[in-house]
Amino acid sequence: MICKRAKERGKKYTKRLLPDFLLPYRVVRLDKTLEALQKSSHKLDAVCAILGCIDFRTAREYLEYGKKAIKKASLAITERLSHFSSKLFTTRFHPEEDYISCFHSLVARYNVLQIHLYGGKGIQYSPSYFIGINWKSVHRNKSMTHVSDLQPAPDTS
């Protein structure tokens, strides 16, 4: 994206948008993490095969942060939906329903809301989008392989 106004002012004027299946500073795709949470019965061999990793610690980390991000995203979507008519966007949940199916139901309701508000021009969001925007808040540490992200040492003079 290019901002003409920022370019005229001599400031940073470009911005890259990552596809919603990528996570910043991560090597495993977000859609693969969601697939691993859905399909595997949390057997680490199956999770590693889906994620494309060989280390069980990596698999556990992605499962843990994926669960947290899904739960946080579900709360955020519920909050947004709560501002609108309960007759149109009420979703019935059952206690035996798992958090992933509740999340998919909320994403579907949010997409219905987008069409209701904007007509055919409503943006249809994927589940990966909501997990991605909530991933940063559940996982704050960046990979140490990104040297440019290291903060400079404090000035002690």
Q: Is 149 exposed, middle or buried (0-12, 13-18, 19+ CB in 10 A)?
A: exposed
pLDDT for 74-86, tens place per residue? 999 988 888 876 6
pLDDT for 90-134, tens place per residue? 666 666 778 888 898 889 888 888 888 888 767 788 888 888 888
> What's the whole-model pTM score?
0.69
Alpha helices by DSSP H, listed for the chain, are 4-8, 30-39, 44-51, 56-81, 86-89, 99-118, 127-138
C-beta separation of 144 from 91 below 8 A? no
CA–CA distance, 72 with 133 (Å, rounded to integer): 10
